[in-house]
Amino acid sequence: MENSQPAFRALQNRYFTIEYLTQAGPRISALIPAGTQQNLLARLDDVAWDTEYGRYLLYGGHRLWAAPEISEITYFPETTGVHASESGNGVRLWREDHGKVAYERSIEVKLEEDAPRLHLVHGLRNLSSVPLNAAPWSISVLPMGAKVRIPLSKGIITGNELLPNRSVSFWPYDNLRDARLSLQNDYVELSSNPQGEAFKIGVYSSRGWAAAQVGEWLLVKRFDVREPQNQPDFGANVEAYTNKRFVEIELVGELRNLEQGEFVIHTETWEILHGNLDDLDENGNLPGRK
């Protein structure tokens, strides 16, 4: 094992508990529904690789990277250097990364008191005199057995009804015959299998939500929709990745060219519900729940 799980602190409401790391990160390490011991996020204490900045330990949980995925701005080790500031039912986590471009990453988390929801604001701030072209890229690592569903766009996206309104991006290592991929008229779904190789998809979805099934629980993520030309990865704003160890549900914010001192944010609202993906309506809601 590369490293034991670092120290953490917890925040909770009557619906769930979240844990965040106090030495590494910024990282949410656990999301636990009340009355259970089930972490909907996966721990990966033994997954690591070498980068030009040192050894990167993945840890698992929920993290913030900078897109597009290029080593000089994405793979900064996170074992030390995180700062945390709690306020009421929330916390702000941030760190500075110094490489070819210096920038700050931050995640602000706020729990609702009377609903199974939490709100996250992910931020990138350029600290360098060198311009930074990047988008906030939030990644939640889920345990093997989880399944991610991305609703496809409906109606006209740009122009008129004669132009395309649905797209899926594939990565060079993808096998398009992979049985874990399900393409439906209304959604794309990626399931997991411990025998499967790496596979990733990206989708531009105008629907403003995506969801993951983890056992008997749903993690529904809601986000602001921007124009596809402002997104990396062929316009994708929702992505999913899986390999032999885990599954990821990923949201990508607006791609911006940041001058020194400028920042870009990406916001999400998470809902933790008991149910199944097939029970969700077209707006990502369960019947009887607003």
> Residue 5: exposed, middle, or buried by beta-carbon count in 10 A (0-12, 13-18, 19+)?
middle
pLDDT of residue 250: 98
- pLDDT per residue over 99-114, tens digit each? 889 999 999 999 999 9
The single-letter code of the amino acid at 235 is: G
For domain 8-279, the CATH architecture is Distorted Sandwich (2.70)
Distance CA 141, CA 57 (A): 13
Cα 29 versus chain centre, distance: 13
Dihedral angle, C-alpha 197, 203, 162, 254, nearest 10 °: -150
Alpha-carbon distance 184 to 189, whole Å? Answer: 8
Say whether pLDDT at 263 is over 60: yes
Mean pLDDT for 11-18 is 97
For residues 221-232, average pLDDT: 92
* pLDDT at site 1: 43
**What mean pLDDT comes out for the span 173-185?**
97
80-99 burial code (b ≥16 CB/10 A, e <16): ebbebeeeeebbbbbbebeb
**Residue 240 parent element (H or E):** strand 238-242
DSSP letters of 47-106? Answer: EEEEETTEEEEEEESEEEEEES--HHHH----SS--EEEEETTEEEEEEEEESSSEEEEE
- The reported pLDDT for the residue numbered 121 is 98
Residue 290 pLDDT exceeds 60: no
Domain ranges of the chain: 8-279
pLDDT tens digits, residue range 233-260? Answer: 999 999 999 999 999 999 999 999 999 9
Reported pTM: 0.95
Which structure tokens are listed for 127? 């600290």
User: What DSSP assignment string belongs to 37-55?
Assistant: ---SSPEEEEEEEEETTEE
Residues forming beta bridges with residue 8, ordered by sequence position: 21
How high is the pLDDT of residue 126? 98
Reported confidence tier of residue 156, pLDDT bands at 50, 70, 90: confident
Burial of 46 (0-12, 13-18, 19+ CB in 10 A): middle
pLDDT at 158: 81
Longest alpha-carbon distance in the chain: 55
